[in-house]
A and B are shown apart, each in its own frame.
Chain A
Amino acid sequence: MITVGMDIGSVASKGVLLSGDKKFSLVLPTGWSPRDVGEQILANLLAESRVELEEVDSILVTGYGRVSFDRAAARTVTEISCHARGVAALCPETGTIIDIGGQDSKVISINGNGKVLDFAMNDKCAAGTGRFLQVMANTLGMDVGELAAFEDPSAMVKINSMCTVFAESEIIGLLARGSSKGGIIAGLHQSVGKRVAAMTRRLGVKEKIVFTGGVAQNAGVCRALEEELKHRIVVPEECQFTGALGAALLAAG
């Protein structure tokens, strides 16, 4: 059985092709056309795995741009179900998934089979999403990927504003008053962590907790989440691909 799962997110799009026990995966920036990036990922996955399109048994698409990928053969499933399935495969015995992406954050409570028991989602407000960190990185004149390396929790500066717009001016003020960049960055991570931890507690914290999505690559946010939730958090190596992997697995079923 050969299946393809794609997770077309607001910032990055991910694809996974499963062929027997072989797995191929890749990520591309979504850019301005979720439709094109889907086609591109499919083409690249096929090329890399030397599989012909006709050999693919089933394609399943998820994520923000899932509806724009309009191949007749492709089914769509929400990212909630896909993340649950993907994480259950990568990290058995997961109870809670925290996923922070570019545009939204979600918490999913699952059982051992990767079945969703409950979920909560924030996509109305940039606070607590990758977007918040992106804007703050710009303000600090850094790349969002560098933030974790530069954070200095021992000099943590508390960021009071939850709102992205206000937080931006708060940071400009803090810099002007000479606060350390590292301390400010730690404060930003803490702010995201607090926000998402509150959402997690609303749903109920169940071990083990797995952190996925683009922002899971940021060790500072993971640290903040662990502090806020007072629980250990696991970040799977392929934390960006859980949605696409879940999609590929669900495509088989």
Chain B
Amino acid sequence: MTANTANTSDNVEKFMDIRSVALAKILDEKGQGLKVVGIYCTFCPQELVLAAGAVPVGLCGTREDPIPAAEEVLPRNLCPLIKSSYGFALTDTCPFFAFSDLIVGETTCDGKKKMFEIMQDIKPVHVMQLPHQHKSPHSFALWVEEIRRLRSRMEEEFNVEIKDEDIWKAIDLVNREKKLLKDICDLNRLSPPRMSGMELLTVTWSSGFSHDKEVVVEMLEEFKDKLESREIEPDAAHKPRILLTGCPVGLGSEKVVRLVDELGAAVVAMENCSGYKTLELLTDKNGNDPVVALAHKYLNIPCSCMSPNPYRMELLDRMIDDFNAAAVIDLTWQACHTYNIESHEVKKLVKGKGLPFLHLESDYSSSDEESLKVRIEAMLEMMGK
């Protein structure tokens, strides 16, 4: 290993530490009145939270541990992400949840919106009514109103005034963060890719847990520099290039990313929402109402909850070309109807481009690792690995 590779790996580890550093900081500042807002999904306009002077923290829902507890209340055949999210809240085992003064949820899929109703018993949850159409004017009007409602709720809850200029500042900060994340992901367009699948996941997923966006932006800048000059074993160029799409994946639910790595292929890009899904969507800074600007950005997110959801197919189509993917894996969680059904469209797109397509349906347990492995391996064999 050359000096530079070692350095870059150290940098990836720094991202793994984000959570513990953030926790220590939050614990420290909580006494001085720091407000924390727990968010579950990329639809939550975190710019507003920042403008309120509060810290938006990602609540993960990517681990299996609290699922049995959640199943005492929720049905078993529910998506593991929802069960895990609720389980952490119920068992009080997620410190970020414990520190949150307010939880923000959205009516994305049915499972989530009904779960948020029950979660109210544990913490105050503000649920935003997300309309499910990207383009219609009434959807847009509703979403603008919903963002305004969140703004007032936080002003009341935290006893602050959220000023337009602060929202614009936050917009700039989040834009910078997304831009950097995109630049970093884009380095994997190169052959050999600059990051392994697990590194890519660690960096993109962990940045969401920070207590201070300025700090993350600095870390990302430094990481990008390191990555640009990273020396990669030339052999890595022969690894089959895989694009991963589907339900959200994080550390704790990374098994497919890990298996692909272990089987000698490379996840070069992830379209999921912890990955590339939102990275092209920067908020336009030229308008005169920051709430309208935010509404534009967020209503474009190509989540399968949107109906129809053409932008996801456009994005995938371009990503397959840009990242020179040799195959696509669509990982959907059991009982996630929207992604499971949309898999049909993804399959048509991918096969239409003449690439192998593998739809994997799984949950957070390790019980099906063997059979996932057989499928992934068979696909790689099929590609003539």
Contacts and interface: CB of A to CB of B under 8 A. Distances in A.
Interface of A: 64, 77-81, 104, 115-119, 121, 123-124
Contacts of B378: 78, 80-81, 116, 119
Nearest to A78: B378
Contacts of A117: 382
Given A78-B374, A80-B374, A124 B368 contact: yes
A121 B371 contact: yes
B381 A80 contact: yes
**4 closest A-B pairs by CB:** A80-B378, A78-B378, A116-B382, A81-B381
Contact of A123 (B356, B371, B381): B371
A119 B374 CA distance: 11
B377 interface: yes
Contacts of B377: 78
A81 B377 CA distance: 10
Contacts, number: 30
Interface string B26-40: 000000000000000
Nearest to A79: B374
Interface residues on B, range: 10 to 19
Nearest to A64: B370
A119 B375 CA distance: 9
Contacts of A104: 371
Nearest to B374: A78
Contacts of B356: 118
A119 B356 CA distance: 10
Interface in B341-385: 356, 368, 370-371, 374-375, 377-378, 381-382
29 contacts: A64-B370, A77-B381, A78-B374, A78-B377, A78-B378, A78-B381, A79-B374, A80-B374, A80-B378, A80-B381, A80-B382, A81-B378, A81-B381, A81-B382, A104-B371, A115-B382, A116-B378, A116-B382, A117-B382, A118-B356, A118-B382, A119-B378, A119-B382, A121-B371, A121-B374, A121-B375, A123-B371, A124-B368, A124-B371
Contacts of A119: 378, 382
A124 B368 CA distance: 8
Contact of B381 (A64, A116, A121, A124): A116
Listed residue (B370, B374, B377, B381) with the most chain A CB atoms within 10 angstroms of its CB: B374
A119 B358 CA distance: 9
A186 B226 CA distance: 66
Nearest to B367: A124
Contacts of A77: 381
Contacts of B368: 124
A214 B378 CA distance: 21
A124 B363 CA distance: 12
A117 B368 CA distance: 24
Contacts of A64: 370
Contacts of B375: 121
A77 B374 CA distance: 9
Contacts of A116: 378, 381-382
Given A115-B382, A124-B371, 6 more contacts: A81-B382, A104-B371, A116-B378, A118-B356, A119-B382, A123-B371
A117 B371 CA distance: 19
Contacts of A78: 374, 377-378, 381
A9 to B, nearest CB: 13
